[in-house]
Amino acid sequence: MSKGAKDTFGYLGTEPVALREQLEQLSTALQELAKAEGAEAIKAASDAARRVADRAGEIADELAGQADAVGAAAAKGRAQVEDAIRKQPLMAVSLAAAAGFVLALLVRR
């Protein structure tokens, strides 16, 4: 084709330059979009991690409270057993002997 021949968009010599410029603009726009999407994804992940960490802290606090309650109940039960042993030592020893006898029978079989 001659230098003066036209295609549907204009002169053949100027189209590759315009196309290159448009591709560079598109590339820049895509990079900016990817950065924005990446930043949004990072922010969303950070927010989700923060919510999970907050909930884990709440659960840990709840479990600590429950552990304290269980410890208090165990201490109260131990005190009651000690009190019962002090009030009726003969019955406590008899009960322990009977439990030992039954356990020995079960282990022998």
Give Cα separations from 26 to 10, 31, 89 (angstroms): 21, 9, 91
Asked whether the beta carbons of 4 and 12 are under 8 A apart, the reply is no
Q: pLDDT per residue over 73-106, tens digit each?
A: 999 999 999 999 999 999 999 999 999 999 999 9
Over residues 17-44, the pLDDT tens digits come to 666 777 788 888 888 877 777 778 778 8
Give the whole-angstrom CA distance, residue 59 versus residue 44. Answer: 23
Tokens, residue 40? 């949004």
Closest CA to 41 of 51, 49, 30, 53: 49
CA distance 107 to 109: 6
* Residue 6, helix vs strand vs coil: strand
Question: What is the pLDDT, as a whole number, of residue 1?
Answer: 45
pTM for this model (two decimals): 0.46
Which pair of tokens denotes residue 105? Answer: 């029978």
